[in-house]
């Protein structure tokens, strides 16, 4: 057990600087996913083809961080986020899953202003009820 790398995490709460809703394009989601797979982070699709088959490329995709992941005593390696999206296939029920993204990449995404984020998510969920993905 001595040689095993410890994975540490810290939760992100509402007072945290990283507690913001971000929007991604399909290209941004694919690029973040490919980095997650390359680094062997756990919260990602099984493949880029699986991601493209499931996620509607024209629908909005929202990220909200839940925790920071770090390996051993190193700096934060990834943010584990809630990802909300619409599926490519019918029925168009909104889906939520977890997704790991590099902190620098996350901070470079478009931020949804706090006063609009809550209203936008409520409206989207009202029109597209959520279903959990596996």
Per-residue pLDDT, 7: 52
Per-residue pLDDT, 6: 54
- For the chain, give every domain's residue range: 7-132
**Residue 69 to residue 23: CA distance in whole angstroms:** 21
What is the full per-residue pLDDT of the chain (134 aa) written as tens digits? 444 555 566 677 777 777 888 999 999 999 999 999 998 888 899 999 999 999 999 988 999 898 888 766 666 689 999 898 989 988 777 888 999 999 999 999 999 887 777 776 666 666 555 555 54
Q: What is the pTM of this model?
A: 0.79
**Residue 67 to residue 10: CA distance in whole angstroms:** 5
């Amino acid at each position: 057990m001595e040689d095993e790398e410890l994975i540490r995490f810290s939760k992100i709460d509402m007072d945290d600087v990283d507690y913001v809703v971000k929007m991604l394009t399909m290209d941004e989601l694919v690029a973040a996913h490919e980095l997650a797979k390359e680094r062997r982070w756990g919260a990602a699709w099984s493949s880029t083809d699986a991601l493209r088959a499931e996620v509607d490329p024209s629908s909005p995709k929202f990220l909200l961080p839940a925790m920071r992941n770090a390996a051993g005593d190193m700096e934060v390696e990834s943010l584990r986020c809630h990802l909300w999206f619409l599926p490519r296939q019918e029925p168009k029920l909104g889906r939520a899953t977890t997704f790991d993204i590099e902190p620098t990449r996350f901070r470079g995404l478009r931020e949804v202003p706090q006063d609009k984020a809550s209203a936008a998510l409520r409206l989207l969920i009202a029109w597209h009820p959520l279903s959990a993905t596996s």
